[in-house]
Amino acid sequence: MNTPTSVEKIPVTVLTGYLGAGKTTLLNRILSEPHGKKYAVIVNEFGEIGIDNELVVNADEEVFEMNNGCICCTVRGDLVRIIDGLMRRKGKFDAIIVETTGLADPAPVAQTFFMDENVGAKTRLDAVVTVADAKWLKDRLKDAPEAKNQIAFADVILLNKTDLVTPGELAEVEARIRAINPYAKLHRTERSNIALDEVLGRNAFDLDRILDIEPEFLTADDGHDHDHHHDHDGHDHHHHHGGLKHYHDEDMQSISLKTDKPLNSDKFFPWVQDLVQTEGKDILRSKGILSFKDDDERFVFQGVHMILDGDHQRAWKEGEERTSRIVFIGRHLPEEKIRKGFESCIA
Amino acid sequence: MSDLSAPLPSLADRARVVQADSGIVGVHFFKQTPVFVLGEEALLFAPVEKRTSVAIHGGGILVSAGDGQRIVTGGDDGKLVSTNRDGDHEVLATDEKKRWVDQVALGPDCAVAWAAGKVAHLRTGKGEARQLELPSTVAGLAFFPKGFRVAIAHYNGATLWFPNAAAKPDVLEWKGSHLGVTVSPDGRFLITTMQEQTLHGWRIVDAKHMRMSGYSARVRSLSWTHDGKALATSGSEQLILWPFEGKDGPMGKQPTMLAQSPSRCSAVACHPRQPVAAAGFSDGSVMLIRLDDGALILAREADGDPVSTIGWSAEGQVLAMGTEGGVGSVLTL
């Protein structure tokens, strides 16, 4: 129903991370590097940004529930208003960065882009970037549910302040992150130093960019590549693999399921809708590439809690394995129930 | 449904076009002179003869209100500015934290209400200042037609504020995010636009709820008909009018739907004297709609540039329309 328009949607990057992890350092870096781009920045506290930027907006992080009978459908009310206001000045900036407070849940920010028609028509969510403190993250994962949420939700994780920990501690914290979210792009950084194209312009929510869903391994700056694309289906946690420790996080996990048999779309859609309706509160992110019976096109979807966004992506290529794969990242996910449900969708 | 293939009678070619430097976000009148509010810094006075642009904000203009005597604007520079017919302007207030001034309403006796963040402010015609802190950000402001009372929309309801009384404000509760507010001209009903694709209303005397739903988008533009008996709204692929006659208002009634369109209604303005409404659509078209029988006249051709604002001069002889792309049209009837 959207009127076709040549106007590009403005990309929005969500910058999250626990207190003191280095979000503001990264933000200052983004604003000060000579990239020729202008960013509108939505922050929580003025004054933290050292860079003179015309378009800095103070937000109050107001999380509002929607009246649609869906308990986890929350939006950031302040973002709805601010983006309305900013879009009156379109042409003055190329992209928007939303910096959340250290205690924020990224979900309401992400959901705002799917729930508000006006925001969704004019802007698009690019990626959720989480900055984590290499020294303290391990402790925060134990005592701060917010920190765990931010890791689980992320498309890109900067494991920052790596200069303050030993290689052993670093491997440990990376394994902890991977236990929660094996799919995010992980970078080791010092003082949030990173090439900006690793955090901006990621298109992480773009259905066309869902190419494969494989666990990501460290994109290390140390030239040392772990290079093992093992399957995560087996779910045998607590194993050692090429020297990399594997952990099982007690309350936040990912589930990955796949099948080479085509799925029945008449079974799959009701099942996945029902799943996110009943378990959506605990499912933070979901993603899938699907092969349906009698359908020559790949179907892809991605979701945030109860909101699912899906479409046919392209024709299956000649010789391409028509494997259906879905992943869920969430809290206390009923793995057996999900696995059985998925298997029952096989045509 | 009307026959879409038959060409509508059109006045579009009689409109004069006013090209602005940035998107148009509002339009108001000083007598017959339309003044376009631009998204960026300035007001554009557009009389037939000589156009003048007056820079009044150091940044974007977020909100505006006009009463024929002055145009009051709020900006992302944290300022509230009043401009008169000669283009003379004065800063009425500056937010100390440079927060956005994004709500403005004009009241009787030169009173102005505005808001920045969670604080609603009021300045009386004599220059006295009042303020009220709300539990969440102020998302809509409207004066009551009579008495000195301000309606404030916010999360989970609306607050009725009596700035001159020590009394505690009344609160009308309804769960959810209320993003705009209007009061019926007879003062009996208060209606909010919500984050969801619905309006919520209260009959003020007994706080009885009414829900007006069925929209395809969030409602962003509201206008009362000349006689105050119906509320015209955007947010659907036609003009939606809710009846407010009778003691129950729209409760249990169906809205009137006019001017079926292939695109979504984005701005509405009822004629101040006649049973006529102007409705602008996201494809750029503007229709004049006779409310008695739904007869249509095209006032602006579709060109793909969404209509962002529509306004009538006080007597209703001049219609001004503005688009997101910064094209103004002025039609003298």
- Is A3 in Cβ contact with B304 (below 8 Å)? yes
| Chain B residues in contact with A89 (beta carbon < 8 A) | 22, 39-40, 59-60, 76
A118 touches chain B (CB under 8 A): yes
In tens, the pLDDT along A260-293 reads: 999 999 999 999 999 999 999 999 999 999 999 9
| Closest chain B CA to residue A46 | B97
Categorize the per-residue pLDDT at A7 as very low, low, confident or very high, splitting at 50, 70 and 90. low
Looking at residue A231, its pLDDT comes to 41
| Chain B residues in contact with A117 (beta carbon < 8 A) | 197, 217-218
A1 touches chain B (CB under 8 A): yes
ipTM of the complex: 0.88
| Chain B residues in contact with A61 (beta carbon < 8 A) | none
Q: b/e map of B150-176 (b: 16 or more CB within 10 Å)?
A: bbbbbbbbbbbbbbeeeeebeebebeb
Residue B94, C-beta contacts closer than 8 angstroms, at least 6 positions apart: B78, B79, B80
Alpha carbon distance B177, B187 (integer Å):
23
| Closest chain B CA to residue A44 | B99
A91 touches chain B (CB under 8 A): yes
Q: How far is CA A97 from CA A109, A160, A224, A304, in A?
A: 11, 19, 31, 19
Domains of chain A in start order, with CATH, are 10-234+238-245 (3.40.50.300), 252-343 (3.30.1220.10)
Categorize the per-residue pLDDT at A187 as very low, low, confident or very high, splitting at 50, 70 and 90. very high
Q: How far is CA A293 from CA A263, A314, A343, in A?
A: 6, 15, 14
Q: How far is CA A40 from CA A66, A118, A156, in A?
A: 26, 18, 20
Looking at residue B237, its pLDDT comes to 97
Looking at residue B217, its pLDDT comes to 94
Looking at residue A69, its pLDDT comes to 66
In tens, the pLDDT along A235-258 reads: 444 444 445 567 788 789 899 999
| Chain B residues in contact with A49 (beta carbon < 8 A) | none
Question: Spelled out in words, what is the top-level CATH class assigned to the domain B102-213?
Answer: mainly beta
pLDDT of A229 > 50? The answer is no
| Closest chain A CA to residue B38 | A88
Distance from CA of A183 to the nearest CA of B (A): 33
Comparing CB atoms, the residue among B25, B176, B218 nearest residue A88 is B25
Distance from CA of B326 to the nearest CA of A (A): 10
A270 touches chain B (CB under 8 A): no
B196 touches chain A (CB under 8 A): yes
Looking at residue B77, its pLDDT comes to 92
A121 touches chain B (CB under 8 A): no
Using left for φ > 0, alpha for ψ between -120 and 50, and beta otherwise, residue B68 falls in: left
In tens, the pLDDT along A52-100 reads: 566 888 888 899 988 776 767 899 999 999 999 999 887 889 999 999 9
Alpha carbon distance A61, A41 (integer Å):
14
Testing the interface with B: which of A43, A52, A67, A111 to mutate, by most B Cβ within 10 A? Answer: A67
B61 touches chain A (CB under 8 A): yes
- Is B61 in Cβ contact with A65 (below 8 Å)? no
Give B76's DSSP letter: T
- Is A118 in Cβ contact with B218 (below 8 Å)? yes
Mean pLDDT of chain A: 85
Comparing CB atoms, the residue among B136, B195, B198 nearest residue A75 is B195
- Is A117 in Cβ contact with B139 (below 8 Å)? no
- Is B179 in Cβ contact with A3 (below 8 Å)? no
Q: Is the distance from CB of A102 to CB of A137 less than 8 angstroms?
A: no
Alpha carbon distance B131, B115 (integer Å):
9
Distance from CA of B115 to the nearest CA of A (A): 13
Comparing CB atoms, the residue among A5, A88, A115 nearest residue B62 is A88
Q: What is the pTM of this model?
A: 0.88
pLDDT in tens, chain B (333 residues): 445 566 889 999 999 999 999 999 999 999 999 999 999 999 999 999 889 999 999 999 999 999 999 999 999 999 999 999 999 999 999 998 889 999 999 998 899 999 999 999 999 989 899 999 999 999 999 999 987 899 999 999 999 999 988 889 999 999 999 999 999 999 999 999 999 999 999 999 999 999 999 999 999 999 999 999 999 999 999 999 999 998 889 998 999 999 999 999 999 999 999 999 999 999 999 999 999 999 999 999 999 999 999 999 999 999 999 999 999 999 999
pLDDT of A224 > 50? The answer is no
B209 touches chain A (CB under 8 A): no
Alpha carbon distance B67, B314 (integer Å):
9
Looking at residue A217, its pLDDT comes to 57
3 state DSSP class of A190: coil
Q: Is the distance from CB of A291 to CB of A345 less than 8 angstroms?
A: no
Looking at residue A220, its pLDDT comes to 43
Categorize the per-residue pLDDT at A32 as very low, low, confident or very high, splitting at 50, 70 and 90. confident
| Closest chain B CA to residue A4 | B304
B307 touches chain A (CB under 8 A): no
- Is B39 in Cβ contact with A89 (below 8 Å)? yes
Alpha carbon distance A35, A30 (integer Å):
9
Testing the interface with B: which of A5, A53, A88 to mutate, by most B Cβ within 10 A? Answer: A88
B119 touches chain A (CB under 8 A): no
A54 touches chain B (CB under 8 A): yes
Burial of A13 (0-12, 13-18, 19+ CB in 10 A): buried
| Closest chain B CA to residue A88 | B39
Neighbouring C-beta atoms of residue A43, cutoff 10 Å: 22
Locate B235 and state its tokens. Answer: 């947010």
Locate A117 and state its tokens. Answer: 């028609």
B139 touches chain A (CB under 8 A): yes
If we measure between CA atoms, which residue out of B62, B1, B297, B308 comes closest to residue A85?
B62
Looking at residue A222, its pLDDT comes to 41
